[in-house]
Structure 1
Amino acid sequence: MAVLRKCARPMLASVFVTGGLQTLRDPRRAAPAAEPVVAPVASRIPWLTEDPERLVRINGAVQLGAGLMLATGRVPRVAALALAGTLVPTTLAGHAWWKEKDPEQRAAQRTQFTKNLSLFGGLLVAAADTHGKPSVAYRTRTAAATGRKAARRTRRDATKALSGAAGNAKGTVRSLTGSAQKSVARQQKAVARRF
């Protein structure tokens, strides 16, 4: 499985590395297509969306950086999630097949949209890949269950120890009470003999 990961990650990342590099070199090519996607965000982040080219450059830089990280196996789960995040606006901006009037263009854009949807699914699988190790959620559940068992065991042992100590204390009290009673009886006899 390790060999499969070492081969599959660079293959999955290659489209993002080349696309990100191409976008960084020439952001003007993608900027007009990005404007409809940027417009809803413009009211929330004005400094970022004043220039659609800036957003296209940022998207390309993230794709290039995260693609390289995924290809080399450096924090691959985070890189896959970052790539999945950049793929959504890229797909909506570049492959809106439902807006095309020409049947041939519509079919080509639908194919690209479906390809990006497939890449998105592959990135989600890569983001969930734990390299054969248990996930954080599983490890958390297991640690919690182990902690609960240890707490029950400690409580049970403490209860046994306390009940044993209570039994020993009762025996000690009985013994001391008996000794004290015998001592008092001896003292009374001694006093009675004097008088």
Structure 2
Amino acid sequence: MDVLVLIGRLLFVALFLASATGHLTKTRQMAGYTASRGVPMPVAATVASGVVMLAGGVSVAVGLWADLGALALAAFSFSAAVLMHRFWKESDPQARMMEQTQFLKDTALGGAALVMFAFFAYAGHDLGLMVTGPALSIS
């Protein structure tokens, strides 16, 4: 079971780690898109979101307070959905459909991250292949 949880953790964070790399290495380009979505301080927001995804992704991947990492990824995902993919404001049907898909992807990732948070906070001490147990504990 420990190996399955590790594989699941690694597959889950792959998207976040790849996105974090883009946010932190192509900040100007990413900030341009962020600005086009009306997010204030787009460069700072791009860097901050890259750091959150990197820290949360590494945390979940290596099992270093993975509950907090999963919670950070959930917060990022829900924020990205609402700030970046406001499909309800799109008038073009194709753009609306694309933004709705991205919105739903981010909310699904956020939901999965909440499940991981609960899993780590509840069973984290009993999981192998983790650097630490959970920072928080729920019963």
Greater C-alpha Rg? 1
Give the Cα separation in 1 of the matches to 2:69 and 2:25: 22
What aligned pairs does 1:6-45 form with structure 2 within 5 A after superposition? Answer: 6-35=6-35, 36-38=38-40
Matched, 1:131 2:123: yes
What aligned pairs does 1:35-184 form with structure 2 within 5 A after superposition? Answer: 35=35, 36-38=38-40, 51-129=41-119, 130-131=122-123, 136-138=137-139
* Contact kept? 2:17, 2:54, Cα under 8 Å: yes
Q: State the number of aligned residues.
A: 126
TM-score, structure 2 length as denominator? 0.79
2:23 is matched by which residue type in structure 1? T
Give the Cα separation in 2 of the matches to 1:30 and 1:99: 21
Give the Cα separation in 2 of the matches to 1:89 and 1:26: 20
Give the Cα separation in 2 of the matches to 1:28 and 1:121: 29
CA-atom RMSD in angstroms: 2.1
Q: CA deviation at 1:136?
A: 3.3
2:74 is matched by which residue type in structure 1? A
| Structure with larger RCO (C-alpha < 8 A, sep 6+) | 2
Cα deviation code 1:119-169 (max 9, x no counterpart) = 01100000001337698343xxxxxxxxxxxxxxxxxxxxxxxxxxxxxxx
Instruction: Show structure 2 runs of 5+ residues with no match.
Output: 127-135
Q: CA deviation at 1:100?
A: 1.4
Q: CA deviation at 1:30?
A: 3.1
Residue in 2 that maps onto 1:189: none
* Contact kept? 1:78, 1:127, Cα under 8 Å: yes
Give the Cα separation in 1 of the matches to 2:7 and 2:52: 22
1:136 is matched by which residue type in structure 2? S
What percentage of residue pairs aligned between the two structures are identical?
A: 30
* Contact kept? 1:81, 1:123, Cα under 8 Å: yes
Cα deviation code 1:32-78 (max 9, x no counterpart) = 4544343xxxxxxxxxxxx4201210111110121112112211100
TM-score, structure 1 length as denominator? 0.58
Instruction: Show structure 1 runs of 5+ residues with no match.
Output: 39-50, 139-195
